[in-house]
A and B are shown apart, each in its own frame.
Chain A
Amino acid sequence: MDPMAAIRETFFQECEEQLAELEAGLILMESGAAEAETVNAVFRAVHSIKGGAGIFALDALVRFAHVFETALDQVRSGTLATGPGVMNLLLRAADVLADLVRAARDNGAVDETRTAALVVEFTQISNLGHEPPPPPKSQPAAAAPVPAWQISFTPTPPLYAKANETALLLRELRRLGPIEVTVDTTNLPELSEMDPEGAYLTWNITLEADCAEQAIRNVFEFVEDDCHLEITAATPAEPSLKPGDVITGDNGFSFEFFPPPVFDEEEPLAPPEPEHHEPPPAPVAKQSPVEVMAAKAESAAAVSATIRVDLDRVDRMIDLVGELVINEAMLSQRVLEAGIARASGVAMALEELEHLTREIQDSVMAIRAQPVRSVFQRMPRLVREVAAQTGKQARLVTEGEGTEVDKTVIERIADPLTHMIRNAIDHGLESPEKRLAAGKPAEGLVRLTALHRSGRIVLEVSDDGAGINRARVKEKAIENGLISPDAALTDDEIDNLIFLPGFSTASTVSDISGRGVGMDVVRQSVAALGGRISISSRPGHGSTFTLSLPLTLAVLDGMVISARGHTLIIPLGAIVETLKPKAADVFPLDGEINVIRLRGGYVPMVDVAASLGYSDEFVEPDQSVALLVEGEGGVRAVLLADAIHGQRQVVIKSLEANYRAVPGIAAATVMGDGRVALILDVDAVVKTTRSELSRPEPSVLEAH
């Protein structure tokens, strides 16, 4: 890639991080929990975006970031108070800044009136200018270049303290033209009185150059406050200096061009001139109270070093560790087969190896793990926007942002979470008037929580709204033919009807939740990740959506089964329960499909081996084990197999990499004996028997 394009890409990546930091910081400020460092971080975020945008000449972004930054600087210095109005403005500015960044990245357009309106608001609160300050006006150039200049240059001690060097300035001058230098040592004190870090010399330079005075001033740009400089037009002098020339002072001081500037060996030789003396700067610059606090906060903040690693490398390592686990298991099996005693040294060393291997596997998996923070940080804006669109007041509280989960999972939870939060505000929270009438604060609360529970990540979205209107949900489900009118459902079952395909409680499809996506789609996308979603609700008190997901998509918890001699893995997430079917509960529905009676309902049965084409014969149900599984959209079936061999975590291997997708098979894995086992695609297997039986389970059938 073109290096500039790569840097540009880095810049936009970094912008996303800065925007997330910005928003998180502003929210902390809004809640009043911000420390000085928070304000600094917020300022830095905008400042960095502006700096980077400057490199790429993203002018609209630079202009807006400048206005925003100036306001934040005033907040930082305490000259702008962060009342609710200002915080609201800052939050909206963060949103606009995000839009501008993305527009710049995608060469898209932004709503310029919105940007302009915000700039006006900023101006009103803080008397800001609309534009960044113009670049420094160069001082008016000297009327006409003269062929030669007389320069008198007297450094003061701070010049050296800042690591500037007379020699280098002279070298720089020489680039303009030949120079002749004499040193005035009149002010040189006695050695006993000399301050080793003082500056006592005046350099008189004749520069033979047809240049403007400004060109000379530019040479002294960095030191203009740390020296006395006089520049006058002069007649050219002879001779000029050549490289390597040695300048000799009146009292024998000599100075060669390009000496290494070693600070400690600087030999000042003249007494300070009182009228020229500048007080040296205080060793530590004065800090504002905010900065002092910031410094404390900074030193208190835990520092963790990070490195960036190509994802391919990590994945390669995960693959290899997966191999290590398999090899270790194979070795254990061989040792066992060889009849080596468990108490033997070999067996014990092997146990140690197994332990280590598991630990390496966990550590490697942890490399891909990332906190859910990046996703959580996108939600406050969503809450603000949805609240504004629905005329509701909502506040988002998040917990457990630091909870870690595999990167691939993180990437895929944003959509379901977005829908859940939209839904919580749009359908969960009442209007401010209704809330007040119900004795609740006008502002509704949406709580987003992440936590680890038994090897999975659990995400909860709860609201303090009205809860599910069960009468309405049931009515709607009957209307849509999802349940029969006389179905007897528990409260829980009614609540979970909202996940059925084709269900929507809103009488009018609103702009917010109704983007053609219902909770059924959310449920499906969650199921595709090996996750589950459920809802619990208390009328008048609100609802809680609970989403549970595996921590990684690279391994899977599975049930090992065998069907006609074939070993298969069924994802544990799909299994509701295991059964021992009785012949008396099995009924033929037609020539092909049997159903089993299960707690008053009937569920179709699938012979796993037959459905995969491994066998033409159907297993006798009472000779087999059965697993009640649930596929997409809550569709259930009972799978029949010969035996269950227990649970096992397996590393997922792609079949497509070297072959192609196989119907009914989701992926493959390698077992402890080194053989490949296939992972069943439960959805596909369930569907094959369900084309005519697409009604949900178990409610419909119970009502028959």
Chain B
Amino acid sequence: MGQSTNSDASVRELIAFRVGRQEFCINVMAVREIRGWTVATALPRSPRYVRGVINLRGAVLPIVELAVRLGLPSNEPSARNVIIVVQIAHQQIGLLVDAVSDILTAKDSNIQPTPDVSSDLVKTFVKGLLPVDGRMISLISLDHVLPQGEMEAA
């Protein structure tokens, strides 16, 4: 985190995490905190990927099960799971992931373009691919984690 103020705009710090067998990463600047899993209160008539809401020091925080959001199989969360609290515009949401795997520093030039595939989910979320030690980490965008138009609803 200490290097997040790096003035070189082409270098960014990323936080990598596992969802199922895949690895993803997001910009560390968007992350507010990382906490353990607690049982969420289900919300009626919500999309399947919204696990419900939890209490984050008095604020009601919606929890998005990233696996489901990205079209991967759902897993019943356990104490080993992690919630990454991220700030998107004026709202905070919790991303339910399997585990945080790495903190990376990447130059823009390291990030490979996403191949043109037909998957809408890939088009919506995957902004680039990052090769690290033989692994492939997908850089994802958080703008559309909650369905369009809803972020402004508040």
Contact = CB atoms under 8 A, between A and B. Distances in A.
Q: Direct A–B touching in the complex (beta carbon < 8 Å)?
A: yes
Interface of A: 319-320, 322-323, 326, 566-567, 612-614, 653-665, 668, 670, 674-678
A434 B105 CA distance: 88
A664 B58 contact: no
A658 B154 contact: yes
Contacts of B39: 675
A668 B57 contact: no
Contact of B41 (A322, A613, A654, A676): A676
B41 A678 contact: yes
Interface of B: 38-46, 50, 52-55, 57-62, 91-93, 146, 150, 153-154
Contact of B55 (A660, A662, A674): A674
30 contacts: A322-B58, A323-B57, A567-B41, A612-B44, A613-B44, A614-B42, A657-B59, A657-B91, A658-B61, A658-B154, A659-B43, A659-B50, A659-B53, A659-B60, A659-B62, A659-B146, A659-B154, A660-B146, A662-B46, A663-B44, A663-B45, A664-B45, A668-B60, A670-B55, A670-B58, A670-B60, A675-B39, A676-B53, A676-B54, A678-B44
A19 to B, nearest CB: 36
- Most chain B beta-carbon contacts within 10 A, residue among A655, A659, A665, A675: A659
Contact of A658 (B42, B45, B52, B93): B93
A655 B53 contact: yes
Contact of B154 (A653, A660, A676, A678): A660
A659 B46 CA distance: 11
A674 B53 CA distance: 12
A612 B45 contact: yes
B84 to A, nearest CB: 14
- Most chain A beta-carbon contacts within 10 A, residue among B44, B46, B93: B44
Nearest to A324: B58
B55 A676 contact: yes
Contacts of A614: 42, 44
Nearest to A321: B58
B28 to A, nearest CB: 20
Given A662-B43, A677-B41, A326 B92 contact: no
- Most chain B beta-carbon contacts within 10 A, residue among A319, A612, A663, A670: A670
A326 B56 CA distance: 12
A253 B93 CA distance: 83
A664 B91 contact: no
B85 to A, nearest CB: 10
Contacts of B92: 658
Contacts of B153: 656, 660-661
- Most chain A beta-carbon contacts within 10 A, residue among B43, B54, B154: B43
